[in-house]
Amino acid sequence: MEIEISGTGRDHVLRNRQRIARISDLAETARCTVFTPDDLALVKGGPLERREYLDDVVVSARPRIAAARLAAERALRQRNVLLRQSAGRASPDVLATLDVWDAQLSQAGSELTAARVALVAELGPPASAAYRRLTGSGAGLDLLYRCSYDGDLATALAEGRSDDLRRGVTGVGPHRDDLDITSGGLDARTRLSQGRQRCVTLALRLAAHEVVGSHAGSPPVLLLDDAFSELDDTTAQALLRELPPGQAILTTAGPLPRGAIPEVVVTVHGGMIAP
């Protein structure tokens, strides 16, 4: 695999000397688990961040789900364009076209939702165990997938069609779902301290690493992008103990975390690898 990052034009990615069109094509070639300081958005941010987390993990674990994810996104995009263009008018042409997009969205969206629900069930135990070890607390994590509709997606789309035409947007589907995260009955988004919220994100990433590795048969590459700079010393030491076997790459703008013993240290200065 070769990646050329251009300062002015498009980046180029090659696999076996052949250019690929989408980064998603590398899902099976280079599986990665990435920690970044921005991961706090998994807890404090909106539902979009949590949905993208689930979708990225489920595609890494089960690459065939990528097709359903793309199909659902495409059908939703086209459906919303039609709803906006209709200006609330339920003409025969609009209704016939809505039937087409509803069928595609319900099929792909149902497959994506089922994959997410199964993933959350897999993530729950390892995420809860990692959170306990990172915090030294007796309370673990509870993960609950919250669906935006009851029953069948096709039925929900049909029942909500009038409201969708009036509002110009699709009101139900996988794009409206969320992941509820609680610890000891407390909502992680609003009731936990920022330090505990950071531990939640670490636990979610560690759990994803374990699940993807079990599906793939080998652990992903672990990338820790300045992850330790946001941690207190106790949590940093706990994270070092939690790091799973396999290849790990740690970047830091400061000194190495206490207790880290890397095999190779590469220094970058002025955009160049220092000798």
Q: Is 213 helix (H, G, I), strand (E, B) or coil?
A: helix
* 170-226: pLDDT as tens digits: 999 999 999 999 999 999 999 999 999 999 999 999 999 999 999 999 999 999 998
In a domain, 8, yes or no: no
Tell me if 16 is assigned to some domain.
no
Confidence (pLDDT) at 125: 98
Q: CA neighbours within 13 Å on the CB side: how many for 221? A: 10
Q: For residue 224, give the CATH number of its domain.
A: 1.20.1050.90
In a domain, 5, yes or no: no
2 within domain boundaries: no
* Number of domains composing the chain: 1
Cβ proximity of 173 and 153 under 8 Å: yes
Which has the higher per-residue pLDDT, 60 or 29?
Answer: 60
Residue 10 lies in a domain: no
pLDDT digits (tens, 9 = 90+) for 68-120: 999 999 999 999 999 999 999 999 999 999 999 999 999 999 999 999 999 99
The answer as to whether 150 is a domain residue is yes
The reported pTM is 0.90
Q: What is the pLDDT of residue 12?
A: 84
- At 254 the pLDDT is 84
Q: Is the pLDDT reported for residue 230 higher than 70?
A: yes
Both tokens of 266, joined, read 């590469």
Query: Is 1 inside any structural domain?
Result: no
Please check whether residue 28 lies inside any domain of the structure. Answer: yes
Q: What is the mean pLDDT of the chain?
A: 93
Is residue 171 within 8 A of residue 160, CB to CB? The reply is yes
What per-residue confidence (pLDDT) applies to 23?
63
Structural domain including 177 reads 22-273
Position 275 scores a pLDDT of: 67
